[in-house]
Structure 1
Amino acid sequence: MHIIFQTPRLLLRRFTLDDAPLILQLNSDPEVLKYLHEPLLETEAQATKVLSDIILPQYEHNLGRWAIHTKHNNEFIGWCGLKYRPELEEIDLGYRLKKTAWGHGYALEAAQHTIDYGLNELNIKTITGRAHVDNTASLQILQKTGMQFLKDETIDNCPVKTFSISNPK
C-alpha cells in the first residue's frame, strides 16, 4: 500500500487496479455524482477504465486522486487529491465522498491536508478548486480551506465557482 499521507482521522493512499469495486461503489451513486458531468458507473470494467485512464496516470507526476480510508476502521470513504489538467494548465483539487461519510468533516480534513501537501511537499505554485454553483457543501469546503474566490465560469459545460490558493514561498 502506497500511503501518501495521514491526517488525524484519515489515511490517503494511491489507488490500484484492484480498487475497481471501490470506484464502482462511489461512482454508481446518483447523489454522489449529482453536481458532476460524469456518467454513473454500472460495471467493474467501467471502474477499471476510470482507474487506468484517469486516476493512475496522474501518479507518474506525484499527483492524483488518492483513496481515503478512516483510521479507526480502515473503511474506504472516497477520494481526494490533486490532478493536473493540461487543457487548463492548472493543478486541480478534487474530492468525492460516499454519502455515509458526508457531514463528518472528512472532506474538509482531506482537502486541507491535500492542499498543505501540494504546497509544502510538492512545491506547487497554485492549486485551483471548483464546485458547481449549487453545490453549497463543496463550496463551503473550498472556502474553509483558505482558498480565495476567483470567478464564476463554465467548465466542461458546468456552471462553477472557481477558487485558488497560492504557495507563499
Structure 2
Amino acid sequence: MLVAQTSRLIIRHFNHQDTDFIINLLNQPSFINNIGDKQVRNHSDAINYLNNGPIASYQTYGFGLNMVQLKQDNTPIGMCGLLKRPELAHPDLGYALLPEHWRNGYIEEASQAVLADAAKQHKVDNILAVTKPDNIASNALLSKLGFTVIGHKSLYGSDNNLYQKQL
C-alpha cells in the first residue's frame, strides 16, 4: 500500500518481496550500531521480521515502518515510518538508510511525508523519536524536523535521547 510520494521518493508498506533488501539494510554496520542487531540473516528471518514488525503494526495500528524507494527507478534505499512501542506513550518516528544514499536529504523528505500522513490519516498529534546521543546525524535531523529533546530513555540496552514533536 502506498503511504506517500514526494518529488523523489515512494514510501510504501513492506511486503514479503522485500526480504533481500531487509537483510541488507538490517545488517549494515550503521544499522547495528545505531539501532540494534535484529538477528535477521536469511530469508526466513526477514519474513519473521516483516510479519512480526511492520506488517503486524499495519494490521494493529494502521501504520508502521515503510519501504523508501527512489521514484525514478524504484530502487529501495531505506525505511521510514512510525512505531508503537510498549515502552513509549506515543508512536515514534523510525528510519534507516543504506549508507550509499546518506547526505542527500532523503530521510528528511521521507520523514516529513510520514509525519504528514500520521497527522492526516491516523490523527496522530504527538510523535516521539529516540536516538543514541552519539548519533550526530540523527540528532541533527530530528532537530531540523522540529523535534525537541524532552529527556532520555533506555531502550534495548542503550541510553537514548528522547524527542517529541506536536503535529
Normalising by structure 1, what TM-score? 0.92
Tell me, in whole angstroms, the C-alpha distance in 2 between the residues paired with 1:128 and 1:153. 11
Identity of aligned residues (%): 27
Q: Is the 8 A contact 1:32 1:99 kept in 2?
A: no
Tell me, in whole angstroms, the C-alpha distance in 2 between the residues paired with 1:39 and 1:18. 19
Tell me, in whole angstroms, the C-alpha distance in 2 between the residues paired with 1:151 and 1:47. 33
Q: Is the 8 A contact 1:127 1:164 kept in 2?
A: yes
1:47 aligns with 2:46: yes
Q: Kindly report which structure 2 residues correspond to 1:1-169, keeping only aligned pairs within 5 A, or say none.
A: 2-60=1-59, 61-167=61-167
Give the number of the structure whose residues are more often helix, by fraction: 2
How far 1:120 sits from its partner (Å)?
2.7
What secondary structure, in the 3-state scheme, does the structure 2 residue paired with 1:79 have? strand
What secondary structure, in the 3-state scheme, does the structure 2 residue paired with 1:54 have? helix
**Aligned residue-pair number:** 166
How far 1:127 sits from its partner (Å)?
0.6
Q: Is the 8 A contact 2:31 2:37 kept in 1?
A: no
What secondary structure, in the 3-state scheme, does the structure 2 residue paired with 1:90 have? coil
Normalising by structure 2, what TM-score? 0.93
How far 1:54 sits from its partner (Å)?
1.1
Q: Which amino acid counterpart does residue 102 of structure 2 have in structure 1?
A: W
What secondary structure, in the 3-state scheme, does the structure 1 residue paired with 2:134 have? coil
Q: Is the 8 A contact 1:29 1:40 kept in 2?
A: no
Q: Is the 8 A contact 2:84 2:91 kept in 1?
A: yes
Q: Which runs of 5+ in 2 are unaligned?
A: none
Quote the RMSD (CA, aligned, Å).
1.4
